[in-house]
Chains A and B, each alone.
Chain A
């Protein structure tokens, strides 16, 4: 799996903060996997609607999927749009799993009010490293700001994930094209390519 080779199943957690586009990203993953012939289930846990709270989507691809929710300790890959949210779900990871985290901090209100503290990078990395050394950080928010549209973050992160998935890049591009309205289609396809490049260079940098 770590080489981006085909695999039989992926159990994936996509996580972030309400408003970051987690649900759309996980929808596109599901649709792409269906197009590639997988059985797919996905489910979002939003708490009380989406009001800036923590969001997590479970996405499962396999020849046959039963439960829509993934069992603790058996997630193959965590795709996190925000650092604290990566740490929050780290216990779901299986030994040797992969984490891709947007190196971006959005302090919860309790942190702003001084009642709680935001974890340091070391604390976050340590939480993720409990199960694996495949811990990747990408500067997604920075890159999409350069691109000129922060709303493409979710598709940038999809690009990062796509490199580890058993699905062809062309299949990904087709579903992004299908899902995105015309006026933002091109910029999202660019964000997708940027994500692919970014994770490749981060990975090479590591090994």
Chain B
């Protein structure tokens, strides 16, 4: 027997190591919680190619191209990333591959750090491809090996679906496999019927997909990580993903069918399991995916009648909902959370380059008034601010209260143009981060220029992808593997698109920001302001924290309107916490204090 090499790994670390040991040669991703660490971990191996792609669609295409040459390839992304990548994702299902192609998508039940909690298992069914779901880090490591093999054997991309709780939980993994590269010299072979999806070639490929999924269904009957564990026969539970762990803990004596491969489903195995138990239930997070598909086999089963559709599960929820359904005795009374405690939502950091421009927009747009009277019926903002996704989305919350919309990455520019063209009387500003601009803002800007919008676009260029933990992007000039590379210059890019009015403004100069925004708002054209200042978390220097002179301070609390975590107030007196203040790199509070009471 091989010696066990035990490590404690997060789901994402296990997936990365599993892929590495399975011989992955090309890995592409765009960051997104909870998937980001998969590529971060892979990028450390210098014997593979790993890249941060501009967005998920490009990542999918890069991986697809590599797989066409016989290399093993992977694309990883968060759940909504698969929406962006869905076009090449469907195409990959049609063409199939040569080298194994694994697509990892990380869903976010409970919306810990996303804009929705869509259930991506539906994508596997739509694309007619196999889907694997780990229940812990060991499964993640093991499934990665199967994923590449299945992909090559059945000429199909494989979807490996994880969730926040799997990706970000650590558990013990035996990592005794060694890296093997099956095809060290990739080559592309001419085959138009396979790769050129003209109607004449695509229709036969569809027929092949239908055959393929039937073969895969047969394979799933013997797939080693589809497992029946017989316990007491009065209750049988079908489950997958992290829900398996909750169910095992809550029902230690029941019989279990754990599905490591949750599409296509092993119908014979499910029927065998059903025949062996008195009552069949499904415990799964989000949609009744397994439940409805099992029902369509003509099997009587329940699940979502009592297991919630919304949010992530845990043992408490599974216990409570199961007692509600009479599967368990009345659950014990548990304590309520202590009442009346102040919340502690995430904030923009001290020294954040987004704070200054948000303060300016708050005052120009009289946003505080909007926040105060939000219960007094419809109000039209004086300045409509369409938003996007990144750290700057946090500025939607009080005290800054700056955003009017946040939908999905890149949406703000198109929305701004739509509002303006619909004929609103207010001026419209779109805000977008540098990484998001590269991801999906450029096409919106092209649209606004082409269609002669009168909108102002603020590109908040903090030189990084901050929200997801500071990944490089095409504007930073550093690759995912830490090498210096070409840096796409946002200013020339914007000018090249045809924007005539482009300003670059220092993110820590309040006066310049204010003048810049006012000037742009008055222009009858698309105007772009690049607000530039490094993310404070990337700058170690913390010289000269600011102090409040109590003699001069009149307690107007103007500075508290910044929402800076370093500026605190105890018993009505404002002070600046020196261990938090970013000091010389920022000075925004010093610039805005009407009494000049703040200095180094």
Q: B-contacting residues of A (Cβ < 8 Å)?
A: 17-18, 27, 30-31, 34, 39-54, 65-73, 84-85, 87-88, 90-91, 93, 107-114, 116-119, 123, 127, 130-131, 150
Least Cβ distance of A50 to chain B in Å?
8
Q: Does B316 contact A (CB under 8 A)?
A: yes
Q: Is the CB of A52 within 8 A of B346?
A: yes
Complex Cα gap A107–B248 (Å): 40
Q: Does B171 contact A (CB under 8 A)?
A: yes
Complex Cα gap A66–B256 (Å): 14
Choose, from B436-444, B472-480, B561-569, the stretch at the interface. B561-569
Query: What are the 5 tightest A-B residue pairs by CB atom distance, in nearest-first order?
Result: A116-B342, A127-B338, A51-B346, A53-B346, A43-B169
Q: Does B78 contact A (CB under 8 A)?
A: no
Q: Is the CB of B342 within 8 A of A47?
A: no
Contacts of A131 in B (CB 8 A): 335
Count of A-B residue pairs with CB < 8 Å? 159
Q: Enumerate B391-447 residues with CB–CB distance to A below 8 Å.
A: 391, 394, 398-399
Q: Is the CB of A67 within 8 A of B314?
A: yes
Contacts of B314 in A (CB 8 A): 67, 69, 71
Q: Is the CB of B334 within 8 A of A87?
A: no
Contacts of B570 in A (CB 8 A): 107
Q: Is the CB of A107 within 8 A of B394?
A: no
Q: Is the CB of B344 within 8 A of A54?
A: yes
Q: Does B552 contact A (CB under 8 A)?
A: no
Q: Is the CB of B342 within 8 A of A112?
A: no
Contacts of A54 in B (CB 8 A): 343-344
Q: Does B347 contact A (CB under 8 A)?
A: yes
Q: Does B369 contact A (CB under 8 A)?
A: no
Q: Does B245 contact A (CB under 8 A)?
A: yes
Residue of A nearest to B167 (CB): A43
Contacts of A49 in B (CB 8 A): 33, 113, 346, 391, 467-469
Q: Is the CB of B337 within 8 A of A114?
A: no
Q: Is the CB of B172 within 8 A of A39?
A: yes
Residue of A nearest to B242 (CB): A68
Q: Enumerate B318-376 residues with CB–CB distance to A below 8 Å.
A: 319, 332, 334-338, 340-349
Complex Cα gap A107–B560 (Å): 13
Contacts of B165 in A (CB 8 A): 43, 68-69
Least Cβ distance of B88 to chain A in Å?
28
Q: Is the CB of A68 within 8 A of B171?
A: yes
Residue of B nearest to A118 (CB): B342
Residue of B nearest to A47 (CB): B346
Known: A40-B8, A66-B246. A113 touches B569 (CB 8 A): yes
Contacts of A88 in B (CB 8 A): 337-338, 341
Residue of B nearest to A85 (CB): B344
Complex Cα gap A172–B400 (Å): 44
Q: Is the CB of B560 within 8 A of A113?
A: yes
Contacts of B568 in A (CB 8 A): 107, 112
Q: Does B249 contact A (CB under 8 A)?
A: yes
Least Cβ distance of A171 to chain B in Å?
14
- The one of A40, A66, A71, A87 in contact with B172, judged by C-beta atoms closer than 8 angstroms, is A40
Contacts of A116 in B (CB 8 A): 342-343
Q: Is the CB of B169 within 8 A of A48?
A: no
Complex Cα gap A48–B342 (Å): 18
Q: Is the CB of B348 within 8 A of A69?
A: no
Least Cβ distance of B54 to chain A in Å?
22
Q: Is the CB of A71 within 8 A of B170?
A: no
Contacts of A48 in B (CB 8 A): 112-113, 346, 394, 467
Q: Is the CB of A40 within 8 A of B171?
A: yes
Q: Is the CB of A91 within 8 A of B334?
A: yes
Residue of A nearest to B335 (CB): A91
Complex Cα gap A54–B568 (Å): 17
Residue of B nearest to A116 (CB): B342
Contacts of A50 in B (CB 8 A): 346
Residue of B nearest to A111 (CB): B342
| Residue-wise interface mask of B (1-23) relative to A, using a CB-CB cutoff of 8 A (1 in contact, 0 not) | 00000101000000000000000
